[in-house]
Amino acid sequence: MSTDSEENLVWRKVLDSDELPEGRVKSVTCGHRTLCMTRFEGKFGALDNRCPHQGGPLGEGSIENGLLRCPWHGWDYDPLTGIAPGFDDGVETFQVEEREDGVYVGFPEEAVHVRTVTDVMAETLVNWGVTKVWGMVGHSNLGLADALRRQEEAGTLSYYGIRHEGAASFAASAYGKLTGRPAACLAIAGPGATNLLTGLWDANVDRSPVIALTGQVDTQVLGPGAFQEVDLVAAFGKVAQWSQSVLHGSRHAELANLACKSAILNRGVSHLIFPDEVQTLEAEAEAKAGGPEGRLAAQEIAPPEAALQQAIELLERSMRPLIIVGHGARFHMPAILELAESLGSAVVTTFKGKGLISDHHPLGCGVLGRSGTPIASWFMNESDALLVLGASFSNHTGITPKRPTIQVDYDAMTLGKFHKVDVPVWGEIGVTVEQLKQRIGPRPEAVDQRADVAERWKIWRHEKQRRESEERGQGVSSASVFSAMNRAVPEDAIIAVDVGNNTYSFGRYFECTRQAVLMSGYLGSIGFSFPAAMGAWAATQEADTPFAGRPVVSISGDGGFGQYLGELTTAVKYGMNITHVLLNNAELGKISKEQRAGNWDVWQTSLHNPDFAQYAELCGAQGIRVTDRAELDAALERALAHDGPSLIEVMTDAELV
């Protein structure tokens, strides 16, 4: 029975008079309450929609033999009074009035929101600068989601609902790679949490700060094997360098503090696990949100003097030093370029470092390794010393161990990880380079490599032009695609690339100026590019940052885009201005090439694709299909000018990569 007094009720229309037939029930939501509306023996009833036993939605039940039956476990209630015949329990009911224009229900005034422990933790995350969250709201993270919603309504946080949790973790990983700051991804317990793992491994191996927020089943059923229960600490394993469950007695703000601090300083994944019932616990009256004040020390650590002196002596003996720049040096390029110019030293990058020096800089030699140019390889072979900054010595990069090598990194474990180096220097890259620059004087006896750089680029550009002219009548060549992109893509664009032949071709043929490049480096995960572009786009919405207003371009093959093609609807929903260039050759071309190289039969690499341009239009984006290289420039111009997500589907030749 209802106990609400008339004077405290707020009356709201819930049904038209003829909307609910006799003997039927219906769920109706008003404000924050969902009712089970019933019509029985000519009268209307209004019951709380939630069965008090298992939470079943009574509005999805039915009236049988004069009783409302719960659809989940068959419990019966009087459809008007909510009483369970023969028992002393029942369902809360609300007063009903039939008026001329319809059926009204009287609701008590909503209680003022009571601050919860997840409110405290969400406030703490925001204080640490975690202002971007990608995720999926579900039944085991609703309390946490509501806390995030409150931050979004307060204007301190932006939330993006995705179609697959893997896209959420990739977007957060890309955001961290681009900005150096952590973002968050949200998932439910069980499959939602495990869907995050691929993107989180990408963040882990590429040292990107990310906060993973996952729901969990109630603590009272944790262990025996409840619905969607997964041991998330075990499931996340080494992907999370810091993982903690949020419990009743936890110091909640402190857990959020430690998650953020660990993600930032360890440059990896922090994981917070939220059991369902803990999320709505009332916070203590004096509970204060945390923040970074007094929790982070300055990170500009100078290298040991002895190591620095060894590095100086080696560089001063060198006639043709080569500087190799990796992704870890991305925030220190002005000082690195000044050092290179003072030494007259050529500069190459790892693939993850592509774009850190312009390919039009007099000392810039492009990418070293399998995804690179013959220019970079030539300079490594001709060098007599290597200065390696923030690179991981991946076998795909192929940094030779046969030259005297100085390696500088903030992570002592990275130094000499795969083979010994002559001078390992443990220090923050920016500080170390500044000290080298200050203490190495003019060296007129060393070779100024600018003339060699210009000559090698001349040779390679001539070869690229030759490849552009190749035609087999089976699609556009990759050289043509990236030549057109060289002409069209703005110099300040942020470019997210996938894996496969499309990405190898990007490394060879696209010449960076000031573009920032994002990729799944050590993990090399197919499907990365479009979710990463969503992460990059979020960074471009931040005023007063180096990324504000910059265009975002994504590149993939048809195999990669197929992994997360549903996220195109996410981009449409949020008005993300992303231009996606899709190289469609109807196969997993790189795998076909590897099968041939290994003397295997080419097997199961063909793809059955939709018309991706039409698919884009169906999603509400702009779709353009290109079948001839003469159409590329106009298509790119049109797509880049479009206000919103745009997809260019280029029908390419799988052999001309």
Report the C-alpha gap between 455 and 263 in whole angstroms.
44
Range list of H helices, 448-581: 450-468, 478-488, 501-509, 529-540, 558-563, 567-573
What is residue 356's predicted lDDT score, i.e. its pLDDT?
A: 96
Mean pLDDT of 626-655: 96
6 has a pLDDT exceeding 90: no
Report the C-alpha gap between 116 and 408 in whole angstroms.
46
Residue 5's pLDDT band (boundaries 50, 70, 90)?
low
Mean pLDDT of 365-386: 93
Mean pLDDT of 338-361: 95
What is residue 301's predicted lDDT score, i.e. its pLDDT?
A: 87
Report the C-alpha gap between 446 and 384 in whole angstroms.
11
Give the distance from CA 416 to its chain's centroid. Answer: 30
Of 97, 93, 49, 103, the residue nearest 72 (C-alpha): 49
Q: What is the mean pLDDT of the chain?
A: 94
Q: What percent of the chain has pLDDT over 90?
A: 83
Which residues is 98 bridged to in the sheet?
103
Mean pLDDT of 578-597: 92
Give per-residue pLDDT as tens, 551-569.
999 999 999 999 999 999 9
User: 305-452: what CATH class?
Assistant: alpha beta
97 has a pLDDT exceeding 70: yes
Residue 1's pLDDT band (boundaries 50, 70, 90)?
very low
Which residues is 325 bridged to in the sheet?
349, 389
- Higher pLDDT among residues 470 and 533, named by residue: 533
295 has a pLDDT exceeding 50: yes
546 has a pLDDT exceeding 80: yes
What is residue 406's predicted lDDT score, i.e. its pLDDT?
A: 96
Residue 473's pLDDT band (boundaries 50, 70, 90)?
confident
The answer for residues whose C-beta is within 8 angstroms of residue 510's C-beta and 6 or more apart is 482, 485, 486, 489, 495
Q: Does the global pTM surpass 0.85?
A: yes
What is residue 8's predicted lDDT score, i.e. its pLDDT?
A: 81
Report the C-alpha gap between 134 and 171 in whole angstroms.
7
Mean pLDDT of 5-30: 89
Give per-residue pLDDT as tens, 485-521.
999 999 999 999 999 999 999 999 999 999 999 999 8
655 has a pLDDT exceeding 90: no
Mean pLDDT of 341-346: 94
For 6-108, the fitting CATH number among 2.102.10.10, 2.30.42.10, 1.10.540.10, 3.30.479.30 is 2.102.10.10
Q: What does the DSSP 8-state code read for residue 282? A: B
304 has a pLDDT exceeding 50: yes
Is 469-651 in the same CATH topology as 117-280? yes
Secondary structure of residue 647 in the 3-state scheme: strand
DSSP secondary structure, 331-398, as one string: T-HHHHHHHHHHHT-EEEE-STTTTSS-TTSTTEEEE-STTS-HHHHHHHHH-SEEEEES----TTT-
Q: What percent of the chain has pLDDT over 70?
A: 99
Is the Cβ–Cβ distance between 196 and 167 less than 8 Å? Answer: no
What is residue 3's predicted lDDT score, i.e. its pLDDT?
A: 47
For β-strands 183-187 and 102-108, DSSP reports them as unpaired
280 has a pLDDT exceeding 60: yes
Residue 300's pLDDT band (boundaries 50, 70, 90)?
confident
51 has a pLDDT exceeding 60: yes
Mean pLDDT of 198-203: 97
Residue 111's pLDDT band (boundaries 50, 70, 90)?
confident
User: 117-280: what CATH class?
Assistant: alpha beta
Residue 471's pLDDT band (boundaries 50, 70, 90)?
confident
Mean pLDDT of 192-196: 96
CATH for 469-651 is: 3.40.50.970
Mean pLDDT of 611-619: 98
DSSP secondary structure, 413-468, as one string: GGTTSSS--SEEEES-HHHHHHHHHHH----TTSPPTHHHHHHHHHHHHHHHHHHH
What is residue 124's predicted lDDT score, i.e. its pLDDT?
A: 98
The domain locations on the chain are 6-108, 117-280, 305-452, 469-651
